[in-house]
């Protein structure tokens, strides 16, 4: 009798298991797997976030401000195209091709290519190193790219070449932002989530609308400050976000695990 009951329970579990949500099946106690360690959360896709950094929400907020700031500077200097908003560049690329105006399509295509290369580089670092070291390297390279654009702005170089390092930096930042749960360079998803969370709040089901609202506010505020400083002191328009990314890089390096912290030293590339 006990064996028959055990078989029935196992059969029922096999039928119910596939119906469990991804969040329950990935690193969830309900799935029988080990729960995420302290300081590790789940992102929107249900996969484990492995980058460890002090005050991740504040860091993500700061990176989002940097993204809006740099995008506004690039928009004003390039006269339309963006250095981090690839949806806008894709629309401009398609418009140029549709109008058989290949000249106007070249710059958006160039910026999109650089952005993808930046994301590719950050993802390769994440795959080849321990993720905490990859975080430090990615933020350090992002800072170096912004510094390069700042230095080039002092010479008689075309705006497109001067700002070429910036889409590379923003592509890398999106991989970093995914790793810490925030800090990406676009807010369309945040606005969709804001609408959903406001609906949930109206129905009395949750009250988590402030996070997507803050994300949108961060990128808007960054764009406003970048545009203001670009009109007052153009060189400082890149110097200040550079200072911010350097500070975050130092924070990431200071949060790297010690040599005796073996539990964090293995490669964790499941982002």
- Total of domains in the chain: 1
Predicted model pTM: 0.72
Average pLDDT over residues 180-189: 72
pLDDT interval class at 74 (50, 70, 90) = very high
User: Domain for residue 33, yes or no?
Assistant: no
Residue 23, in any domain of the structure: no
For residue 53, give both structure tokens.
């950094």
Residue 104 lies in a domain: no
Is residue 38 in a domain?
Answer: no
Residue 193 lies in a domain: yes
pLDDT exceeds 90 at position 7 = no
Share of the chain above pLDDT 70, in %: 71
Q: pLDDT for 80-133, tens place per residue?
A: 889 988 988 999 999 999 998 888 899 999 999 999 999 999 999 988 888 778
12 lies in some domain: no
What's the mean pLDDT when you consider all of the chain? 78
d(CA 227, CA 134) in angstroms, rounded, equals: 31
pLDDT (tens digit per residue) in 119-170: 999 999 988 888 778 888 899 999 999 999 999 999 888 888 999 999 999 9
**Can you give the residue range of the structural domain that contains 187?**
55-81+115-257
Between 270 and 140, the higher pLDDT residue: 140
The answer to whether residues 215 and 190 touch, using CB atoms and an 8 Å cutoff, is yes
Q: What is the CA 78 to chain-centroid distance, rounded?
A: 23
What is the distance between the alpha carbons of residues 192 and 196, in angstroms, rounded to a whole number?
6
Answer yes or no: is 107 within a domain.
no
DSSP string covering 231-244, please? Answer: HH-TTHHHHHHHHH
The pLDDT of residue 33? 46
Specify if 92 maps to a domain. Answer: no
Burial class (CB in 10 A: 0-12, 13-18, 19+), 185: buried
- Of 159, 190, 183, 188, residue with least CA distance to 244: 183
Tokens found for residue 2: 């006990």
């Amino acid at each position: 009798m006990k064996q028959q009951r055990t078989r029935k329970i196992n059969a029922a579990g096999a039928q119910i298991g596939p119906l469990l949500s991804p969040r329950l099946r990935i690193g969830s106690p309900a799935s029988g797997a080990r729960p995420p360690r302290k300081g590790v959360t789940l992102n929107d896709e249900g996969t484990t976030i492995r980058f460890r950094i002090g005050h991740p929400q504040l860091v993500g907020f700061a990176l989002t401000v940097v993204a809006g700031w740099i995008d506004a500077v690039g928009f004003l200097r390039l006269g339309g195209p963006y250095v981090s908003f690839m949806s806008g560049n894709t629309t401009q690329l398609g418009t140029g091709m549709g109008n058989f105006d290949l000249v106007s399509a070249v710059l958006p295509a160039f910026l999109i290519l650089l952005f993808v290369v930046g994301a590719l580089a950050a993802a390769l670092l994440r795959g080849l190193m321990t993720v905490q070291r990859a975080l430090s390297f990615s933020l350090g390279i992002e800072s170096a790219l912004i510094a390069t654009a700042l230095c080039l702005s002092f010479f008689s170089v075309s705006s497109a070449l001067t700002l070429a390092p910036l889409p590379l930096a923003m592509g890398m930042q999106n991989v970093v932002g995914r790793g810490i749960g925030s800090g990406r360079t676009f807010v369309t998803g945040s606005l969709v989530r804001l609408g959903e969370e406001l609906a949930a709040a109206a129905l009395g089901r949750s009250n988590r609308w402030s996070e997507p609202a803050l994300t949108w506010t961060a990128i808007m505020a960054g764009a406003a400050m970048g545009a203001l400083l670009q009109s007052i002191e153009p060189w400082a328009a890149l110097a200040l976000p550079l200072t911010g990314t350097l500070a975050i890089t130092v924070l990431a390096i200071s949060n790297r695990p010690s040599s005796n912290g073996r539990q964090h030293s293995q490669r964790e590339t499941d982002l």
